[in-house]
Amino acid sequence: MLDWFNAREAVALGTSLADSFAADGSAGAARRVGSGKGQPDVQTLLQRAAREAGPLKLNVFKRAKLLESFKSKLLARGVAEGTAGELTHLLLLQLSGGGKGGAAPPMAPAAVGSPKRVAALLAEADARYAEGRYAEAAERLRQVIALEPRHALAHSNLGATLCHLSGYREAEQALRRAIELKASCPGAHFTLGSLLRAKGQVRAAETALRRAVKEDPRDPRALVELGLTLGMLAQLDDARGCIEKALRLKPRDAGALGVLGWLEMLEGRFEEAERHFRAALEVDPRRTMALASLASLRRMTAADQDWLARIEQILKDGVPAVEEARLRFALGKYFDDLGKYSRAFEQYKRGNELHKGLAAEYDRLARTQLIDDVIRVYSRERLAQVAQGASESEKPVFVVGMMRSGTSLVEQIIASHPAAVGAGELEFWTDATSKHGEALRRKPPDAALTRKLADAYLKVLGRHSSAALRVVDKATFNCDYLGLIHRVFPKARILYLRRDPVDTCLSCYFQDFANMASFTLDLSDLAHYYREHHRLLQHWRSVLPKEVFLEVPYAELVADQEGWSRRIVDFLALPWEPKVLEFQNTRRPVLTASAWQVRQKVYGSSVGRSKHYEKLIGPLLKLRELSP
């Protein structure tokens, strides 16, 4: 029995076959497998496999391990994943007697429940996964689990396979079961982290991916996924460190090059970003993140036909739902830039529908109850009282409003002042209300909690700048917490961005928020959310002192940039600084969907944008009935 599972020689042969094939340019030839070119290299590989595998007397377990090591080594040597899968399938046919000169007999059925049967099913699942036959692979894995319910690898592989079939709920269950059975299961941690990030659970994704990297520090895929996740959490230095490690391990890793491009884009280095995206596509022409991101670097034109054709071909071939959604949003922007509005809307609608399979359902009743509680707890009378433990600091500045209402633009204007710093979208108040939620929904914080929140928040701001007189927090969801914020920081300035409600909501619908805002996926949900948001705004208008609350109409800011910039600077009690009028030249990370827009001069094309889509957005149109 021990000898049956001793696959050391099989693994060594698989690694050796991959090494020899990838050496001396054969990896380049491999990209042409099946085209008629490069076939002598493939034939040599198969002949050598037949010659050297025969004496090893491979059983199904050893054969599976050989194939696993072969594909893994090909990927590590820079062979594209699709090519590696195709070669692995050819090698499987050869070793099973299905290729030319097959050296091994076909796999014979084994007794149900025996180790041979389990190993055979795992090998079949691997082969079908490599071929893209995910439903068949999942069925084999379910058979393994039926035979051996505690088989961690089978649960892990099932989770990965189900992600390709959009079975995300069952996939997460399978992955968590694999980790429960075997904590040191890097593949399960990796796939779970990727899935959680796709669901918008970015912090939970970080935890899973850090464990995957800990279990296998030399896996470039885990480093890339962790780097992307850390970037989404604004930990840009750590994100870049992960990507650099991945590139040292695998210098032409398409995923790492794509994330590196994204990081450059956040920093405003768009030419470098495009260079990295295109380098990623040279390695893997189907790298959806790189393809989609190209549309975010500039306005698309009719000259981008090759880009369009490549995406359409990928969609025709089929990709997982998460990747398809990313491409649909990019296509939506392409057609919108070209003025083909009905086609643009079709793409955005498809992207949002795909995301619904991952996102938590928007709960209208819960949202309404939350707004009711906030209005009741943070009444005019309570906010007029001096709160014990409150901070007198004027350092915090809050830029709030609906998403896509112009908050990034105003933050960039303020951050261009020498006495101010933009901290981006901080999660402090969301985390605080999550931690103390039940208490804060009944009454404002007591003196001890007020002092604790003030001290903790000032420490957060201090990490962004200890010298700046003003630090901007532009988390749009802080609009829900303005009563709490004013209670803790009664002298903090609050700027609310007001934009046409239909333009705002349409822009939300057209933005890929990575499932972090499920109400944006449906026009009716968006309309409901906006009405509740507007109801809360009316409350803040009536209870917050005018000296700390300023409304900034987006359309007026665009029409009179200098006039409103002066009002904003004056409201913050800062001296006038002409640099704020050249905000597009301010170099700082921008981690929002407006990373490109805030590096451009003020433009008015987004004002009245919804007029092009009025026949398609019925649920949003009645929002114009709301008072400004």
Q: Is 471 exposed, middle or buried (0-12, 13-18, 19+ CB in 10 A)?
A: buried
What residues does each domain of the chain span? 299-355, 387-595
91-95: which pairs have CB atoms within 8 A and are 24 or more residues apart? 91/17, 91/45, 91/46, 91/49, 91/67, 92/63, 92/67, 92/123, 92/127, 92/130, 94/46, 94/49, 94/50, 95/49, 95/50, 95/53, 95/58, 95/63, 95/66, 95/67
Bigger pLDDT: 208 vs 582: 208
Helix (H) or strand (E) holding 180: helix 168-181
The structure tokens listed for 570 are 């004056």
Query: Looking at residue 135, what is its pLDDT?
Result: 92
Quick check: 602 pLDDT over 60? no
Bigger pLDDT: 330 vs 120: 330
Query: Looking at residue 31, what is its pLDDT?
Result: 38
- Count CA within 13 A, CB hemisphere, residue 186: 15
Query: Looking at residue 26, what is its pLDDT?
Result: 45
Of 510, 428, 511, nearest to 464 by C-alpha is 428
d(CA 554, CA 560): 10
Quick check: 28 pLDDT over 80? no
Of 124, 137, 151, nearest to 67 by C-alpha is 124
Which distant-in-sequence residues (6+ apart) come within 8 Å of 110 by Cβ? 60, 116, 117, 120
> 597 near 411, Cβ under 8 Å?
no
d(CA 195, CA 207): 12
Tell me what the mean pLDDT of segment 194-222 comes to. Answer: 93
Kindly report, residue by residue over 367-383, the tens digit of the pLDDT: 999 999 999 999 999 99
Tell me what the mean pLDDT of segment 357-374 comes to. Answer: 92
Q: What pairs with residue 470 in β-bridges?
A: 420
What does the mean pLDDT of the chain come to? Answer: 87
Bigger pLDDT: 522 vs 56: 522
Q: Which of the 8 DSSP states describes residue 421?
A: E
Of 252, 249, 319, nearest to 291 by C-alpha is 319
Query: Looking at residue 588, what is its pLDDT?
Result: 54
Quick check: 40 pLDDT over 80? no
Task: Look up the pTM and report it.
Answer: 0.74
Quick check: 81 pLDDT over 80? no
Least confident of 9-23, 240-254, 416-430: 9-23
Quick check: 401 pLDDT over 90? yes
Quick check: 4 pLDDT over 60? no
* Domain 387-595: assigned CATH number: 3.40.50.300
Kindly report, residue by residue over 273-290, the tens digit of the pLDDT: 999 999 999 999 999 999
